[in-house]
Amino acid sequence: MSRVGRKAIAIPKDVKVQIEGSALHVQGPKGKLSTPVPPGISRSNDERQQRAFHGLARALANNAVKGVTEGFSKELDIVGVGYKAQVEGKKLVLSLGFSHPVNYPIPEGIKIGVDAKANRVTVSGIDRQQVGQVAAEIRNLRRPDPYKQKGIRYVGEVLKKKAGKAGATGTGAAGAK
């Protein structure tokens, strides 16, 4: 059994858990989630592959329980002159320096909030994988530029800044003999 698989999952009183076939159904105050359980998971089986799957199944179940009780969220900063975001109905409209606004359709089960003053987008929902996927897709609409640090980045993400051209001070081919 894996180290992660050995840990117990604390299930709050207001959460219902059912196992049907190869799926784990978790229902709580924030909603309902279904998580697949890999086949062959049992406490007695100690093969290498099954130990890994045991830890995976435990992590997925724990994320489902945490999702229906607390939920998950990711925050993104939009950095750049004229860059902004707003929610219009079921889509997120982003102005990212292109000649046109970028429309991102908001998937079912995801809530997106926009703080216009801080230029911050908050992606939240009960499914951890879906929240991370949506945040990554929004970030990929305008990834941070390594030179000017403009673009969409996660809050707290540290970017490595690159130096510009070394010959940009005016001593280039025109001044060479």
Determine the average pLDDT of the residues in 47-55: 78
The model's confidence at residue 116, banded by pLDDT at 50, 70 and 90, is: confident
Q: Which CATH superfamily is domain 72-154 in?
A: Ribosomal protein L6 (3.90.930.12)
Each residue's pLDDT tens digit, 23-48:
889 999 999 999 888 776 766 666 77
Mean pLDDT estimate for the chain: 87
Entry pTM: 0.84
Share of residues in the chain with pLDDT > 70 (%): 89
CATH architecture of 16-70: Alpha-Beta Complex (3.90)
In this prediction, residue 76 carries a pLDDT of 96
Helix residue spans in the chain (DSSP H):
3-6, 48-69, 128-140
In the chain, ranges of CATH 3.90.930.12 domains: 16-70, 72-154
Q: Above 70 in pLDDT, residue 62?
A: yes
Q: Above 90 in pLDDT, residue 91?
A: yes
Q: Above 90 in pLDDT, residue 110?
A: yes
Each residue's pLDDT tens digit, 127-161:
999 999 999 999 999 999 999 999 999 999 999 99
Question: Residue 18's Cα: distance from chain center in Å?
Answer: 27
**Strand ranges inside 13-165, DSSP E:** 16-20, 23-28, 31-36, 72-79, 84-88, 91-95, 102-105, 110-115, 120-125, 151-154
For residue 132, the one-letter residue type is: G
In this prediction, residue 2 carries a pLDDT of 64
